[in-house]
Amino acid sequence: MSAKLNIFITGATGYIGGSVVSCLLKHPQAASFEITALVRSAEKAEKLHTLGIKTVLGSYTDKDLGFLTKASANADVVFAIADSDVLPAAHAILGGLKIRHEKTGKAPILIHTSGLAIIMDDARGLHGDHKVYSDLESEALNAIAESVLHRDVDISIVAADKAGYVKAYLITPGTVFGYPSGPLVDLNIQNKHSIQLPYIIKPSIARKQGAYIGKGLNTWSAVDVNDTADLFIIIFDAAISNSPAAGHGTEGYYFAENFEYTGLEAAKTISEKLFELGLASSPEPNAFTQDELDKNFGSFWTLLSTNSRAKGDRGRALGWAPKFGKEEFLANVKEEVAFYANELKA
């Protein structure tokens, strides 16, 4: 690689992506990095420039994705942390990395964000009885059907690794919670809130009572946003040092998780906070009615009531040690209830 390590990152001002950028800026080797970030607005671009970050304007939803190919063709490392389900964007990035490989003779690195929905079932909140998958179970994971959420993109990326023109690592978080910090938060350009939790919190506020789906027995693995960013950096460090310990491609799934929670536990915590705020008549949750599910979520409600249980053994073998557990998660749920209650009131 050149004296400067060229890094291209998508989703750079997002919840996880912004946290990864902050980690890269304080990395011991940061002086040797040349970071380029994909952003949607010129205003965000200007603020990133103050941190020494170059920018490309655009998004995964643009009709012409040539800018993704061009930026990836100039990168030694790509962090793909924007929408994990846009196959044309993934193909554009892989096309650029193939050009990079042909030009340099070296396989560039792709660290892609997938998600634990790849192992979810159809529990509909009625049970928590589901296989706990380890990310070391490569054969089982690579056999998951292409029709499963995230898998069409994952399969294309693993195939590129198999073809030899990229080294691909797929970081696969469960429910991500917590509050990020760092220069992008200070500049007010990073999303600071969980993507998944508001799906349940906002309608619970509207109905003035915490709610679960079915019996609330569905179980998900969860991980703090800062712990997730740490996993990205551990894999990045292993990849750029060519560590043989870091599997990639078919051996490249890295689950990000540190504990499990149920839909019922989340609903009870939401109800307790609503009661504390004087917005609910009881601290006890109850079930969403079918009418509420249809109104608030459409057919998406079945995805919110799945089991998705995982063990992140591969990252831990590289030294990843997540710090934040269920106590911090439940406290964060309460903080998010207060935040969205205030936002919705305004």
Burial bucket for residue 142 (CB in 10 Å: 0-12, 13-18, 19+):
middle
Q: What is the torsional sign of CA 87, 92, 96, 101?
A: positive
State whether 140 and 277 are in the same domain.
Answer: no
Q: What are phi and psi of 280, to 5 degrees?
A: -140, 150
How far is it, in rounded angstroms, from Cα 112 to Cα 161? Answer: 12
Q: What pLDDT is stored for residue 145 in this prediction?
A: 97
- Same-domain check for residues 26 and 43: yes
Listing DSSP states for 162-215 in one string gives HHTS-EEEEEEESEEES---SHHHHTT-S--S-SSTHHHHHHHHHHTS-EESTT
The pLDDT score that the predictor gives to residue 345 is 80
- CA geometry: angle 59, 181, 342, nearest 5 deg: 85
Q: Which amino acid is at 176?
A: V
- Per-residue pLDDT of 219-272, as tens digits, reads 999 999 999 999 999 999 999 999 999 999 999 999 999 999 999 999 999 999
d(CA 141, CA 328): 30
pLDDT for 285 equals: 98
- Same domain flag for 212 and 249: no
Residues 101, 242 share a domain: yes
Q: Are residues 90 and 67 in the same domain?
A: yes
- Total structural domains in the chain? 2
318 lies in a domain? no
pLDDT for 344: 84
Domain that holds residue 263: 198-221+259-308+324-341
85 and 13 share a domain? Answer: yes
What does the alpha-carbon distance between residue 37 and residue 56 come to, in Å, rounded to a whole number? Answer: 6
Q: Who contacts 273 (Cβ-Cβ below 8 Å, separation ≥6)?
A: 333, 334, 337, 338
Indicate the residue type of 194: S
Whether residue 55 sits in one domain with residue 181: yes
Note whether 252 and 206 are same-domain residues: no
Please check whether residues 61 and 203 belong to one and the same domain. no
Beta strand residue intervals within 45-191, DSSP E: 54-57, 77-80, 109-113, 132-134, 167-173, 175-177
Q: 164 and 276, same structural domain?
A: no
**pLDDT per residue as tens, the chain (346 positions):** 458 999 999 999 999 999 999 999 999 999 999 999 999 999 999 999 999 999 999 999 999 999 999 999 999 999 999 999 999 999 999 999 999 999 999 999 999 999 999 999 999 999 999 999 999 999 999 999 999 999 999 999 999 999 999 999 999 999 999 999 999 999 999 999 999 999 999 999 999 999 999 999 999 999 999 999 999 999 999 999 999 999 999 999 999 999 999 999 999 999 999 999 999 999 999 999 999 999 999 999 999 999 999 999 999 999 999 999 999 999 999 999 999 999 988 6
In a domain, 141, yes or no: yes
Write the CB contacts of 325 (distance below 8 Å, at least 6 apart in sequence).
258, 259
**What pTM, to 2 d.p., does this model score?**
0.97
98/117 Cα distance (integer angstroms): 28
**What's the pLDDT at 346?**
61
In 3D, which of 108, 231, 214, 99 has the Cα closest to residue 168? 108
pLDDT digits (tens, 9 = 90+) for 194-217: 999 999 999 999 999 999 999 999
First to last CA, the chain: 51
Strand order in the sheet with 175-177: 175-177, 219-224, 259-262
CATH at residue 118: 3.40.50.720
pLDDT at 1: 45
Task: Map residue 219 onto helix, strand or coil.
Answer: strand
Domain assignment present for 102: yes
Q: Are residues 138 and 216 in the same domain?
A: no
Q: 116, 308 in Cβ contact below 8 A?
A: yes
